[in-house]
Copies of this chain bind each other. A is one copy, B any other.
Amino acid sequence: MVTKNTRIQREKREVILDAALRAFSKNGFQGTRLDQIAAVAGLSKPNILYYYSGKDVIYRTLLNRLLEIWLQPLEGIDPLGDPHTEIMGYISAKMEFSRKFPRESRLFAIEILNGAPRLSNELDGSLKALVDRTVKMFRAWMDEGRLAQVDPYHLIFSIWATTQHYADFSTQMRSVLGDQDPDPIATGSKFLEELFFKGLDPR
């Protein structure tokens, strides 16, 4: 079947992707059954396969679409802006992502934990390019004395790690925090701001 662009096609495809995201981000690729996706989407199993030619295709479609969104915050850093403002803005944006798109974050994490068998090309390509661009920017700021002299790659890694942790490890956080923090992401944002503000201060 050729991909049509009728309204009904677009809508159903969206519904399927949404259902698939819920399932895949919870149980991984192999742990997700087409039945589950179908049930959540409110469609029959063959009807799912009418829109996407296989489970694999749904998964890949999801990952590719996710990667695009994933890279946006990094692209948003302004080389002409103030280093601290920009980096705090980036951290803030990433935290908002963890709040709004925890499932997307988890899907991405699962894929990478599995060795990114279906994503390695994209990681080596567009992600690396974007990181390299950002690293250059950070180095320029450091050379100008506006940012502490730290390894820029690992700075980026640490931001990813800390912010995505609020989506990926939320189960663990809930276990540890119990009910004492009604909004861990807000608290975490404040904490990370302080940590990175002081940690990146050029003195």
Tell me the A residues contacting B by CB distance below 8 Å.
26-31, 106, 109-110, 112-116, 120, 123-124, 127-128, 131, 148, 150-151, 153-155, 157-158, 160-162, 164-166, 168-169, 171-173, 175-178, 181, 184, 187-188, 190-192, 194-196, 198-201
Q: Which residues of B lie under 8 Å from residue A175 when comparing CB positions?
A: 116, 120, 123-124, 127-128
| Docked CA distance A97–B196 (Å) | 24
Task: Kindly report how many copies of this chain are found in the complex they form together.
Answer: 4
- Listed by A's residue number, 29 A-B pairs whose Cβ atoms lie within 8 Å are A26-B115, A27-B30, A28-B28, A28-B31, A109-B168, A113-B169, A113-B171, A115-B171, A116-B175, A123-B171, A127-B176, A128-B175, A128-B176, A128-B178, A131-B176, A151-B190, A153-B176, A154-B184, A154-B188, A154-B191, A154-B192, A157-B165, A158-B162, A158-B191, A158-B195, A161-B169, A195-B200, A198-B198, A199-B199
Cβ distance A38 to chain B, nearest Cβ, rounded Å: 12
Cβ distance A140 to chain B, nearest Cβ, rounded Å: 18
With A28-B30, A151-B187 in contact, do A112 and B194 touch (Cβ < 8 Å)? Answer: no
- Contact in complex: A113, B109 (CB < 8 Å): yes
Cβ distance A109 to chain B, nearest Cβ, rounded Å: 6
- Contact in complex: A112, B169 (CB < 8 Å): yes
| Docked CA distance A154–B127 (Å) | 28
> Which of chain B's residues has its CB closest to A197's CB?
B199
| Docked CA distance A175–B156 (Å) | 14
